[in-house]
Amino acid sequence: MENRNLISITDLSAGEIDEMIKLADDIIADPEAYSEACRRKKLATLFFEPSTRTRLSFEAAMLDLGGNVLGFSSADSSSVSKGESVSDTIRVIGNYVDIIAMRHPKEGAPTVAAARSIVPIINAGDGGHFHPTQTLTDLLTISRKIGRLDNITIGLCGDLQFGRTVHSLIEAMLRYENVKFVLISPEELRVPSYIIDKIRDAGTEYKEVTKMEDVMGELDVLYMTRVQKERFFNEADYVRLKDTYILDAEKMQLAKDDMIVMHPLPRVNEIAVEVDSDPRACYFDQTLYGKYIRMALILTLLGIGRNGKKA
Ligand code: CP
């Protein structure tokens, strides 16, 4: 791969994403073949912001490849709390490991890190900006559950303004033929205008709606998101908007029999627990696919093939 870092999903061509999905499919089919592929390699997970899935799936991915992991799960437990810059932190940790996955609350922090790093940097989420490895997870999930990434109507529902997973997924899906976006959000949490401009520039069909019931029957994929308390400046606005959309069994009756429900998780109230037993609910499978696609990403960025041989 020419670009050794993954900062935005647009760092990958559609062809490279397809190759990574194929590699993940291969790992799922025969995990044993990859169990020593990263022997003696080390991954650092530098999480300046909380995470459950992303950090632990990265660590599980490296361990399942026979490698090792080190890192921190909050800025408080690193020398950043003493005032050290991200640049210096990255420059130092590059001396200890082969690859770094980092999450940071500030948009652009992984770009700064990549400019300074001597090892590949993976953006594991930067503020309300991008979350490209969630997008790879989402694409693998759609590919495995629906069998294609083109000819899909995808509904994105909830906090579309601050939802970095939504922004990255839209950018990725713009590359595929005959994708239609149905953007379901309150007026205050609409997709930012720069993302709408990208949809328009690509000539992709989209519509913005406020009521999910009106569009449920059109969708192949319903991608639910959480209204993110941590991105609001005003608690009253969060309280007013947080329960705008709650997917429940009654609303699922309006959907196609083969629609899938996705969610990057964590969820709060936006999907009722009763939906978990619906065979169309994919969000827990999605978390497992997250580990496999991160295995494929680590192998790709390190230029490693099966059994640790150079690809
Ligand atoms: N989907 C996701 O990014 O989850 P975490 O915040 O738990 O990593």
- DSSP letter for each residue of 172-223: HHTTSTTEEEEEE--GGGPPPHHHHHHHHHTT-EEEEES-GGGTGGG-SEEE
Cα of 286 from ligand 1 centre, angstroms: 11
Among 103, 168, 265, 294, the mutation site with the greatest number of ligand 1 atoms within 8 A of its Cβ is 265
In ligand 1, the atom with minimum distance to the C-alpha of 57 is 8
In ligand 1, the atom with minimum distance to the C-alpha of 124 is 3
Domain 9-131+289-308 has CATH 3.40.630.30: no
Cα of 203 from ligand 1 centre, angstroms: 31
Distance (Å, whole) CA 153 – CA 161: 20
Give the pLDDT confidence score for residue 36 in this predicted structure. 95
Domain with CATH 3.40.50.1370 in the chain: 9-131+289-308, 133-287
Give the pLDDT confidence score for residue 311 in this predicted structure. 66
Cα of 310 from ligand 1 centre, angstroms: 31
Domain 133-287: which topology?
A: Rossmann fold (3.40.50)
Task: Find the mean pLDDT for residues 249-277.
Answer: 97
pTM: 0.94
Residues in the chain: 311
Give the pLDDT confidence score for residue 110 in this predicted structure. 95
pLDDT digits (tens, 9 = 90+) for 49-69: 999 999 999 999 999 999 999
Residues 6+ apart with CB under 8 A from 218: 153, 155, 182
- Which of 222, 199, 84 is closest to 146 using CA atoms? 222
C-alpha distance from residue 46 to each of 41, 121, 122 (Å) = 16, 10, 10
171 versus 3: the higher-pLDDT residue is 171
Indicate the range of 129-133, 238-242, 285-289 predicted with least confidence: 238-242
